[in-house]
Structures are given as structure tokens and as C-alpha cells.
Amino acid sequence: MKCPFCGYEDTKVVDSRAQDDNSVIRRRRLCEKCGKRFTTYERIDTVPLVVVKRDGTREMFEKSKLLNGIVKACNKRNISMEQMENLVDDIENSIMASVSKEVNSDSLGNMVMDRLKELDEVAYVRFASVYRQFKDINTFMEELNKLINEKKKKEN
């Protein structure tokens, strides 16, 4: 590490401490030439996740926005906040693990619906009704029939 005071390129680490839940390492350094001390911080460099909307626009992935939609779908259901947060974390980790740091909104919505279907069928239908923009009762009934048929297949 280069000394900010004299430019000498050989510095010695005197002290290291983890900060911010071990996501940052603070290092105190000593310049071997001028003897001055300075502090450096080491952080993980993350690439932001981007959501590609249906109209082609791009926006930053917002965990809170996704969680709010799930909370609305799970309103008055027996689903804890911890379960909902875990669902959002699981989705975020899936996106982070993918090669691309962009996800289209359709894929994101399908990820949510797949996980909600396993968690709670009513929350799934609520989320699907907004996400798929049901136009009338027939499209709503089609989705319900799909859910009923899947449930019957699992039982047999």
C-alpha cells in the first residue's frame, strides 16, 4: 500500500479490525520511510443487481420493494416476517449467483410466485393477481384451476 504522505510503496500493517458485521476490515498502517500512520478500509466490491422492466427500462434491484409486495400478498396470513425476509433473501441470492447481474421482471415475478406457492396458496394467488394483471374473473379462475390441479397431482 502506497503511503499517502510521502508516496513510499512499502507500508506495514500495524492493526486489523473487522467492522460492520465483518463486511469491512479496517487496517492501521505504518509507513516504513516517513513513520506516519494512516488507515485503510477493505470492502467486498459488489456489482449492483438490475431489474429489466417489461417496457425495457432498467432500475436497481430494491430488496425493500420486493419485500413490500410480498408483505401485501401475505397480509392476514399465518406467515411470519422472518419467512418473508428469508424468501426475499433466497431470491436475491439466486440472482447474485447467476452469471448475469440483470434479471427481467418476468423472471423475478415467477421466482416470487414459485416460492409463494410453496409457502401459502392464498398469498400466491394474491401476488399472481397483481403480477399477472388479471383482467377478469375468467383469468383468475384459470389460475385457481391450475393451482387446484397441481395440488391434486401432488396428492395422488
Residue 36 has what pLDDT? 96
CA separation for the pair 147, 114 (Å, rounded): 11
Take residue 33 and report the three cell numbers written for it.
520511510
| Measured CA distances, 6 to 13, 16, 38, 89, 100 (Å) | 17, 22, 12, 45, 42
CA separation for the pair 114, 112 (Å, rounded): 6
H helix or E strand, kind and range, residue 51: strand 50-52
pTM: 0.64
Residue 79 has what pLDDT? 95
Residue 72 has what pLDDT? 95
Contact 128, 120 (CB under 8 A): no
If 0-12 CB within 10 Å is exposed, 13-18 middle and 19+ buried, where does residue 80 land? Answer: exposed
Residue 132 has what pLDDT? 75
Sequential pLDDT tens for the chain (156 residues): 899 999 999 999 999 998 877 778 999 999 999 999 999 999 876 778 899 998 999 999 999 999 999 999 999 999 999 999 999 989 988 888 888 889 999 999 999 999 998 999 899 888 988 877 777 777 778 878 888 888 888 887
Residue 101 has what pLDDT? 85
- Residue 127's nearest CA partner among 72, 88, 79 is 72
Residue 16 has what pLDDT? 93
Residue 29 has what pLDDT? 96
